[in-house]
Structures are given as C-alpha cells and as structure tokens.
Amino acid sequence: MHRGAQEAIAGLNWWHVIEVAPGVLTPGSWDLRPAAERMAWPGTLAGLRCLDVGTMDGFWAFEMERRGAGEVVAIDLVDPARQDSPLAERRVRAAPSEQRRGRTFRTAAEVLGSRADYRDLSVYELDPGHVGEFDLIVMGYVLQMLRDPVRGLEALHAVCRGHLLLIETVSAPLSLLRSPLARLDARRDGSEWFVFNRLGLRKVLSLAGFEVEAMTSIFRDRYGAPREDEPPALGARAMYRLGLRGRSVAVRARAL
C-alpha cells in the first residue's frame, strides 16, 4: 500500500505537504500541518458541510475530512490564467495543460480514499443557489491574491451559515510608525494584491458581514524543498526561517 502511494505521487509538482499514507508525504514546499494544529477550529467538525477555497493540492479539504466533516467541497481555478492579475501581466490565452490544476488533488484524493468534491470555481462565482451553504469555510492565503478582497469575502458570506477560518499573510508591525491597514502589492513582485495587518483583517471582515471571534498567530509554516517551477531563493528562505517574512494569522470569524 505504501509503495503504491509513493508511486502515485511521484513525478507530480506538489504545492502542499500531505501525508497520503503513514509516513508517505507529498514533496510540497509548504507544510501546513503545524498551522492546522494551532488554528482555533470551531469545535468538532463532525457532520458539518465544509468548503475549501483555493484548494491547490487539497490539504485543507483532506484535513477537514480527517477531522470528521460530513461533506467537503473544494474549489480552485483549474486554469491559473483566470486568476486576478495586473493588466500589464494579464495573460489572454489559457495556460498550457501542464500548468492546469487538479491532477495533484485527484491523485491525493484517490490514495486517501477522499470523497471531497473538486470544482473549478472562483471565489467570486460562489452562489448559494449553485453550491448551497456551508457550516465551515477555510480559505488559506487566497485573500491576498484577490484584486477585490471585499467582494471575495462578501461571496463567502453569501454561502456561509457558520464560520470562516481565514489563514492569511499579515504585514509585519513597524517599530516606530503605525502600520497601514492594508498595503498594495506589499511584496513588489506581483504575487499579491493587498496585504493587511491585524486591524485591517478585522476591518475587511467586518465590512463583509463577519465578526472575528479568534485570531491565532502562526508562521507561514515550514518552507520546504523548492518547487520545480520555483528556483531557490536563499534570501527569501532565510527570511522565512527567521520570521521576517511569511508572518501569518489564522482568523476564526462568524457570519452575522
């Protein structure tokens, strides 16, 4: 069984570290398991209908199943060219097939025996008439990738009948100057639109109809082996390890 799991995950470009069998881990760059243990989960997930937004390889979808969720829907953009991107960098043509998403999710789901339902949807496209409502929504490191974060959160609110767990990079506090609620393209490399500080996250969630119940400090977990399509960046890796970059929080908010 373990050998079959190892063969199944081999040769794929993984983003998440997922334990698909005892001792068998996908070779992803981001290990979210420590974050999952530190998050303020809203009690038991037994029987809950859950949504994973921006699932990538499916870590949060499978984690919610592991915690007893009754049903899990996982959404992502199969074609990354559909993501919000600046006009100067916008790609008109669809991404080539080798860049499409979903294969790693399907592989992990098959090995794990998962029943999670994978759908090609943007957060903006969430509609209660189409996908129904959810008791728990997890969205990890997606808000910062949205051109319109308030609109994205409002779409989540429309399908949330319980709680939202939001995992997000936050801007580091400045020692002498007050940190802005949000900074535009804080990384200056086009990978993010807005990065909020803690007060900014509370404010934007409130604007979208959520009440923050808990905010847990986490790092952006352990930066693992570089992905094949991501060349090593020694300086960035050092900053992650020192906690100077990749500061994150997990927010539990209730839909009002």
For the chain, give me the number of helices (H) and strands (E)?
Answer: 8, 13
Mean pLDDT of the chain: 87
Q: Which amino acid is at 206?
A: S
H helix or E strand, kind and range, residue 255: strand 247-255
pLDDT, position 186? 74
The CATH number given to 32-255 is 3.40.50.150
Structure tokens at 48: 């809950």
pLDDT, position 86? 79
CB-CB neighbours of 141 under 10 Å: 17
Closest to 114 measured CA to CA, from 18, 15, 29: 18
Enumerate the domain spans of the chain.
32-255
CA end-to-end span of the chain, whole Å?
46
Determine the Cα–Cα distance for residues 106 and 74; give it in Å rounded to an integer: 11
Determine the Cα–Cα distance for residues 140 and 193; give it in Å rounded to an integer: 15
pLDDT tens for the chain, 256 residues long, are 577 889 999 999 999 999 999 999 999 988 999 999 999 999 999 999 999 999 999 999 999 999 999 999 999 999 988 889 877 666 656 666 767 899 999 999 999 999 999 999 999 999 999 999 999 999 999 999 999 999 999 999 999 999 999 999 887 665 445 678 998 887 666 678 999 999 999 999 999 999 999 999 886 544 444 445 555 456 655 655 555 556 899 999 999 9
Closest to 169 measured CA to CA, from 252, 53, 248: 248
pLDDT, position 38? 93
Structure tokens at 144: 């910062």
Q: What percent of the chain has pLDDT over 90?
A: 67
Could you say which DSSP state residue 16 is in?
B
CB-CB neighbours of 26 under 10 Å: 23
Check: CB of residue 14 under 8 Å from CB of residue 26: yes
